[in-house]
Amino acid sequence: MKTLQALFEEEKENLLSTLSSQKDIEGVIKQTDTLLGRILFRFNENEESEKVKAYAYAVMQSIRASLPLIDSTGEPEIYTYTRADGTVQKRDLRFLLVLFIGIACCAAACVLVMLSMRAAAAVLNLPVVLILLCAGIVCIFFSGKLSRPKNSSTQKVTAEIKADPERIRRHLLAAIISADHLLDEVRTEERIEQRHQLAKEADDVDQSELRLLAQLLEDAYADKNSDLSRETISHIKYYLHSRRIQALDYTPDNASWFDILPGEGGTLRPALVIDGALLRKGLASGGRR
């Protein structure tokens, strides 16, 4: 009989491929729940103990109920930021050049004004001074414009949460291994209860009745070739069977349930057994049936 772990390992490749194909967490949870339900069905098909089946159903339902925890990471946050288009770095040289020209023009205008004042010829140099001064102001103005990024863009950054199939498989495997340990404990407890019940039933059997039936069987086996003896043996075995007691003939496999006498003859008195527990030893001779 296969354990839950063995059945889960058989579905490993199917689980990983199915989860990898899912585009959202809801699909992952649904497919995982379907897989666990299939494993539980296959397990209960081969399990004979109703008690183990009940525990397997309960523990697998607990695992399936916890699957929504896969989606417990919370809502993704959306951040916005402004980023320049990268043209500032390319324009640094032009910005410095225009700024230098503007400063040079203004400085030249100032120098001309000072020279004209000394030479008393300010009227003759006034147009040139005005031209240089205007050119300097215009260059300085445009250098300021070039120092700013013209094309800026606002971008949205979104976070997409995707399930990790291998991580989910490992966590499910750990839970299923724990479930198998629990079911093993349930089986052990059930076997102990069965042994206690067998011992109780064996104690409840009337020993005087067993002695009488064993003696009747021994007498019938002494002349088991006659029709009356065979009929007696059949009736006694049927009565014992109705009480879950088996009358077993000697075989090498059950020799420990018989007292062996020298000589030949096989089974002289069958052993009386209830559910694998010996109630009364049989008698055989010569180790033959």
Number of domains in the chain: 3
* Numbers of helices and strands, H then E, in the chain: 9, 8
Average the pLDDT over 185-211 and give the result.
Answer: 73
Please tell me the distance from the alpha carbon of residue 60 to that of residue 56, in angstroms, as a whole number: 6
SS3 state of residue 207: helix
Beta strands in the chain (DSSP E): 79-84, 152-157, 245-248, 258-261, 266-269, 271-274, 277-280, 282-285
Instruction: Identify the residue with better confidence: 288 or 237.
Output: 237
Instruction: Identify the residue with better confidence: 33 or 196.
Output: 33
> What percent of the chain has pLDDT above 90?
6
Strand order in the sheet with 277-280: 245-248, 271-274, 277-280
Average the pLDDT over 45-63 and give the result.
Answer: 89
Structure tokens at 245: 């007691």
Residue 200 maps to a domain: no
Instruction: Please give the pLDDT value at position 239.
Output: 87
Instruction: Please give the pLDDT value at position 122.
Output: 45
Please tell me the distance from the alpha carbon of residue 237 to that of residue 189, in angstroms, as a whole number: 33
Instruction: Please give the pLDDT value at position 289.
Output: 43
Q: Which domain holds residue 91?
A: 80-157
Residue 201 maps to a domain: no
C-alpha distances in Å from residue 233, one per residue of 236, 260, 261, 266, 270: 5, 21, 22, 16, 10
Structure tokens at 253: 């496999």
Angle at the Cα of 167 from the Cα atoms of 163 and 173, rounded to 5 degrees: 125
Please determine, for residue 88, whether its predicted confidence score (pLDDT) is greater than 50.
Answer: no
Asked whether residue 221 falls in the same domain as residue 243, the answer is yes
| One-letter amino acid of 53 | K
pLDDT digits (tens, 9 = 90+) for 25-47: 888 889 899 999 999 999 988 88
Average the pLDDT over 8-33 and give the result.
Answer: 86
Please determine, for residue 286, whether its predicted confidence score (pLDDT) is greater than 60.
Answer: yes
Average the pLDDT over 62-67 and give the result.
Answer: 89
Which residues, including other chains, have CB under 8 Å from residue 5's CB and lie 6 or more apart?
173, 176, 177, 180
Place of tokens 């209960």: 44
Pairing of strands 266-269, 277-280: unpaired
Asked whether residue 92 falls in the same domain as residue 142, the answer is yes
Asked whether residue 112 falls in the same domain as residue 215, the answer is no
CB 39 within 8 A of CB 63: no
Task: Give the count of alpha carbons within 13 A of 259, CB side only.
Answer: 7
Asked whether residue 35 falls in the same domain as residue 97, the answer is no
Instruction: Identify the residue with better confidence: 286 or 170.
Output: 170
CB 142 within 8 A of CB 98: yes
Lowest mean pLDDT among 30-39, 58-67, 177-186, 193-202: 193-202
pLDDT digits (tens, 9 = 90+) for 225-263: 788 888 888 888 888 888 888 888 888 888 888 888 887
pLDDT digits (tens, 9 = 90+) for 89-139: 444 567 677 777 777 777 777 777 676 666 554 454 667 767 777 777 777
In terms of Cβ atoms closer than 10 Å to its own Cβ (0-12, 13-18, 19+), residue 149 is middle
Structure tokens at 215: 């003696």
Residue 199 maps to a domain: no
Please determine, for residue 66, whether its predicted confidence score (pLDDT) is greater than 70.
Answer: yes
Instruction: Please give the pLDDT value at position 144.
Output: 67
Average the pLDDT over 200-220 and give the result.
Answer: 76
φ/ψ of 194, rounded to 5, equals -65, -40
Cβ count within 10 A of residue 273: 20
Asked whether residue 64 falls in the same domain as residue 183, the answer is yes
Instruction: Please give the pLDDT value at position 106.
Output: 76
Most confident residue range from 150-159, 176-185, 211-220, 274-283: 176-185
Radius of gyration of the chain (CA): 50
φ/ψ of 273, rounded to 5, equals -130, 140
Most confident residue range from 60-64, 152-156, 262-266: 60-64
Asked whether residue 87 falls in the same domain as residue 46, the answer is no
81 pairs with which residues across the strands? Answer: 155
Please determine, for residue 182, whether its predicted confidence score (pLDDT) is greater than 60.
Answer: yes
Asked whether residue 120 falls in the same domain as residue 64, the answer is no
Residue 33 maps to a domain: yes
